[in-house]
Structure 1
């Protein structure tokens, strides 16, 4: 258990990321292969995701789904599924990665930002591709186990 004396001596704003957890009719999860030149996790499979840009989390989810993959999502169809509280490395800002499950959407995933994503594919949750972003794997495992929260890197 963390005691008040154990808290970090400095404050750090957290970056909020929003992630889309989609399963197709066969129970496979949608992941994108990040472009090799991406600043984060190039050549790695990851959720459709983005950072909140002075907007509510569900607004971000809807925007990113359209911008990245041409998917139309009604925010009323999104449900909170998991969060990963993450510290990638000691010098990086801490992050809260919110994952929302959407069971209804319109459109077929297609690459709309080829400088960020090379491909969208459906994967069985028990056979995720390699390499996959570690917190993506942790979130998929957490969702499958019914857990709502994971901490990594602390």
Structure 2
């Protein structure tokens, strides 16, 4: 069953219960969710739509980053949700496996609650018939002992295991740092 507006709302509410100081910064997500309903999970919803990402953490405190081919930026693995995804967590795990080749059985979710929800603009892409819009990226923390990566070369050009303190985006950096177990 595809991801529903109710699932997104429940996930957002659980997240905001942990991080109430982010209510204002996520108000655009709440507004689009109210207006778009279940189309919040459609990549054709150009007011904005949900995406899912994975912060994959190894015991040595390193996090997997990938170089996105089209954007030419180093990012966490992740992307658009699919009709086959039933939860945002499932979508993050699927995207992680697709982009990195790391099998889901080598990965353990840290929690069913996102580590971070990021709102960022996406420029128009006339080649794909896409207007400028926002991504509401639900980022989950996963743990692994795997280190072998097989990139999906259509979308990803390189990967790197970075120490968590090298992440630049806050509060993602601080939250990943706090999750490192001694």
Do the aligned residues in 1 keep the contact of 2:92 with 2:139 (CA within 8 Å)? no
Please say if 1:50 is aligned against 2:79.
yes
Distance in 1 between the 2:53 and 2:140 partners? 6
Mean Cα deviation higher: 137-146 or 61-70:
137-146
Which residues in structure 2 correspond to 1:73-152 (within 5 Å)? Answer: 73=104, 77-78=108-109, 79=111, 80-88=114-122, 92-104=132-144, 108-111=148-151, 113-128=152-167, 137-138=169-170, 140-144=172-176
- 1:31 correspondence with 2:65: yes
Deviations 1:100-133 (A, max 9, x none): 111246562221x2121111111112224xxxxx
Asked which structure has the greater RCO (Cα within 8 Å, sep 6+), the reply is 1
Alpha-carbon distance in 1 for matches of 2:138, 2:150: 23
Q: Distance in 2 between matches of 1:115 and 1:85?
A: 25
| TM-score after normalising by structure 1 | 0.65
Cα separation, 1, equivalents of 2:49 and 2:174: 21
Per the normalisation by structure 2, the TM-score is: 0.56
Report SS of the residue matched to 1:103.
strand
Distance 1:49 1:67 in 2: 9
Alignment RMSD: 3.4
Q: CA deviation at 1:69?
A: 1.0
Gaps of 5+ in 1: 3-7, 129-135, 147-154
Partner of 2:95: 64
Alpha carbons of 1:32 and 1:145: their partners in 2 closer, same or farther (altered >3 Å)? closer
Bigger share in helix: 2
